[in-house]
Amino acid sequence: MYNDIIVDNFSAPNYVGDLETADHEIEIGNPVCGDRIKVQLLISDSQISKAVFRAWGCATSLATANVFCRSIEGQSITTISKRCTQEISSMLGELEPSQRHCLDILSELHSKLVSQLDIGVA
């Protein structure tokens, strides 16, 4: 079943939306289960000032998109880039085996964000 983090973020995702002019966009898709997530960002001074998403996928992956947006909004790229694997894993709470692919989604969102915006990290 779904843990409380997933339930909250999935049943009332508050980062759903589109930006008319985004500073940056991350898109990932899981070729196997077909989940698709698009995150749009407003960035100022290497800070994420706004993050919104669109997603098509399973409950846990929708929740993951919301968790990700909340966790980056208001943060600097540098801070985000310092998150270790363990920290990232714990963001989704305890997952059932069949939900663990969402950890990959979450890491991929992180690594895409950091690698694509590495200007900020330097």
**Residue numbers at the binding site for another protein (CB under 8 A):** 1-2, 7, 10-11, 13, 16, 18, 30, 32-36, 38, 54-60, 62, 96-101, 104
CB of residue 97 to another protein, shortest distance in Å: 3
| Least distance in angstroms from the C-beta of 101 to another protein | 5
Question: In the complex with another protein, which residue's Cβ is closer, 68 or 80?
Answer: 68
Q: Return the axis-axis angle of helices 59-72 and 101-116, rounded to nearest 10°.
A: 30
SS3 61: helix
Shortest Å distance, C-beta 41 to another protein:
16
Closest CA to 99 of 71, 57, 66: 57
For another protein, which is the closer residue by CB, 104 or 118? 104
CB of 122 to another protein, least distance (A): 33
Cβ proximity to another protein, 9 vs 71, nearer residue: 9
Q: If we measure between CA atoms, which residue out of 93, 38, 47 comes closest to residue 73?
A: 47
- How far apart are the C-alpha atoms of 46 and 114, rounded to whole Å? 11
DSSP state of 20: S
Which CB sits closer to another protein, 44 or 98?
98
E strand residue ranges, the chain: 24-29, 36-44, 47-56
